[in-house]
Amino acid sequence: MYYGYGMDFAYLGIVILSIVLGGITQSYINSQYKKWSRVPASTGRTGAQVARQMLDSEGAPNVGIGRVDGHLTDYFDPRDNNLHLSAENFEGGSVASVAVACHEAGHAVQTAKGYAMGKFRTALVPVVNFTQQIWIVVLVIGMALGLVGLTQFAVALFAFSVLFQLVTLPVEIDASKRAVRYLSTAGGAIDEKGARQVLTAAALTYVAAALISVLQLVYLMGRTDSRN
């Protein structure tokens, strides 16, 4: 990518690392999901049914559950207080389906119980949505006019995206822990083992994204300082 600094080996390395890590983590989560999607959950219930039970028992009975299109597009939306599960995880009764559904239920439980990091992450959303749209524009203007202060401000705006990625890590890990903990008591050993493997693979995608974001921030800070 070209930010007016010119392509160099440092940034090329970040780009290559981003592509490699993204490919590896995506391949790993797909393989784990595919592996455990062939194994029936010991509960004999669908992902939606197990998630419903988890929500009811963990203090989030008012959360709804619905379908969403796509593959592994599952998410919890605090705005409508609903789990949105892909058809395979809503209707499927595999270990993988139950694991993903319970992970999303974990996010709903976080909201219901006022999980601090989750609240912080939610508060960052409008800020990050704004900064992601304007930071590159501010950077280009700052470089075009030779205003180092403006380029530094652009990097500071980008830092909010990095902060969001870092805050997302404990939120996702906590939701996975809640899912595994619930399945360890409400399901069987196979459910707990499969959920742990599937959700660990999913967590690695967030770790990789956070790492790349941090490297990009360090790169931009270093290039801005060198111009200063």
Marked catalytic residue, from 58, 88, 104, 172: 104
| Partner residues linked to 66 by β-bridges | 84
Does the annotation count 88 as an active-site position? no
SS3 4: coil
The contacts of residue 101 (CB under 8 Å, 6+ apart) are 47, 48, 50, 51, 74, 83, 85, 89, 90
Q: Put residue 179 in one of left, alpha, beta given phi > 0 → left and psi -120 to 50 → alpha.
A: alpha
CB-hemisphere CA count at 13 Å for 87? 2
Interatomic CA distance for residues 173 and 178, integer angstroms: 9
Calculated CA dihedral for residues 127, 219, 209, 153, nearest 10 degrees: 0
Task: Say how many C-beta atoms besides its own lie within 10 A of residue 158's C-beta.
Answer: 21
179 and 203 Cβ atoms separated by less than 8 Å: no
Q: How far apart are CA 50 and CA 55, in angstroms?
A: 9
Q: Point out the residues that are catalytic.
A: 104
